[in-house]
Chain A
């Protein structure tokens, strides 16, 4: 995982969240933004799960070594 890629993803999601509240965003853009948000959420969920898995593995290794 690139440094801060998770955080920049989160920040893009917050932007999308704000954009979706705007009157100026039309139907087509709403759908595109939604599509982008869903893809980004899936990607970030994968990254978070991977990080958690690594964390749990390291924790388990540490316990076994003690």
Chain B
């Protein structure tokens, strides 16, 4: 070697050293899988193997991964046949895995499963415990890191959907050693803030990064809160303990903000549509009332007119009857009025003297003398 070497030379040297070392080649290593990822394009698998204290990165290339007959996922314990090497580009140490055997659920996963069963038996996951998420909140509390992507995503959703919302950020570490204590303090303060709903979570990360959301004390603290909580732990597949006790689970902080905040544009369009409906209905009501008034007006007029015609026709009838008894009408029909010298009508033969009488016709009067009287035989 020269007085100094390049990084590339050093990394290659270490890799060669490891390659020549019999102990770390073809060795069986047991551990728990975490951060498992299989890239669909290449088919290669990348993950970490860990135990209580330590962790190591590992890669299993497609040709070997295809031979594994069980579902590889986070939390299971495996034994792998592998060689230790370093990836020269980054200088990081990793295991090249060629075979994998499942040896059970990992310790951490076992503990979590047991905890889930206990809390479920206590009724902490029961749907009846879930508080409804308010449909129109005025204040949203967000428990997350002030420096994380989650709060930025939530603010961006709020600006778009419900700009008048008040957001209270309760800053807390969301990974690492301080995160559990920080989240406990934040959850403890939550109910005193008067928020209508709270979002607790963070953006995506590795299983280890999200580990704090499986903490029993955090899940219990969240279940004690009276403020409805939406959990937003950035992962799609696994369900954290916090998800199980929360009133609603969202896959990401963005999704949580969308659940918490109504879309103002939808509201406006609903209101506009209600106003249009009311206007249309009112117009129809006015038209109906107008038509009703018109119909009554015309009906009353008809009825009164019919009634008056009825009265008129009765009066006409009476006039005709009266007419029939009128003297002139009688005379016109061929009768005449006989009067004595005093002009008194003579209605009986016996009243008739041989004096001068007058006989009134409809067109004039004749003055006559009585020559003879002859009573009717039956009188």
Whole-angstrom distance between the alpha carbons of A30 and B81 in the complex?
A: 112
Contact B307 A17 (CB under 8 A): no
The secondary structure that dominates the A interface is helix
Residue of A nearest to B308 (CB): A30
**A residues in contact with B293, CB < 8 Å:** 10, 13, 41, 44-45, 48
Contact A41 B296 (CB under 8 A): yes
Is B289 engaged at the interface, CB distance under 8 Å to the other chain?
Answer: yes
CB within 8 Å: A-B pair count: 51
Contact B296 A13 (CB under 8 A): yes
**B residues in contact with A10, CB < 8 Å:** 289, 292-293, 296
Whole-angstrom distance between the alpha carbons of A27 and B312 in the complex?
A: 10
Contact for B307 among A6, A20, A37, A55, CB less than 8 A: A20
Q: CB-CB contacts of A31-66 with B at 8 A, as 1s and 0s?
A: 001100110010011001001100100010010000
B153 CB to nearest chain A CB (Å):
32
**B residues in contact with A41, CB < 8 Å:** 293, 296-297, 300
Is B267 engaged at the interface, CB distance under 8 Å to the other chain?
Answer: no
Query: Quick one: given A48-B286, A55-B282, A59-B279, are A30 and B296 in contact (CB under 8 Å)?
Result: no
Within 8 A of B (CB), among A1-27: 6, 10, 13-14, 16-17, 20-21, 25, 27
Whole-angstrom distance between the alpha carbons of A20 and B170 in the complex?
A: 79
Residue of B nearest to A52 (CB): B286
Residue of A nearest to B299 (CB): A17
Q: CB-CB contacts of B276-304 with A at 8 A, as 1s and 0s?
A: 00010011001001101100110110011
Contact for A48 among B279, B283, B290, B300, CB less than 8 A: B290
Contact B289 A34 (CB under 8 A): no
**A residues in contact with B279, CB < 8 Å:** 59
Whole-angstrom distance between the alpha carbons of A14 and B299 in the complex?
A: 10
Whole-angstrom distance between the alpha carbons of A7 and B46 in the complex?
A: 79
Contact for A34 among B286, B296, B304, CB less than 8 A: B304
Whole-angstrom distance between the alpha carbons of A33 and B260 in the complex?
A: 64
Query: Quick one: given A6-B289, A48-B290, A55-B286, are A30 and B304 in contact (CB under 8 Å)?
Result: yes
Within 8 A of A (CB), among B113-152: none
11 contacts between A and B (CB under 8 A): A10-B296, A20-B300, A20-B304, A20-B307, A21-B303, A27-B311, A33-B304, A37-B300, A48-B293, A52-B286, A59-B279
Question: Could you tell me which A residues sit within 8 Å of B by CB distance?
Answer: 6, 10, 13-14, 16-17, 20-21, 25, 27, 30, 33-34, 37-38, 41, 44-45, 48, 51-52, 55, 59, 62
Besides A37-B296, A37-B304, 11 other A-B contacts (C-beta < 8 A): A10-B289, A13-B293, A13-B296, A13-B300, A20-B300, A30-B304, A30-B307, A41-B300, A48-B286, A48-B289, A48-B293
> Shortest 9 CB-CB distances between A and B: which pairs?
A20-B303, A34-B304, A37-B300, A13-B296, A30-B307, A41-B297, A27-B311, A17-B299, A52-B286
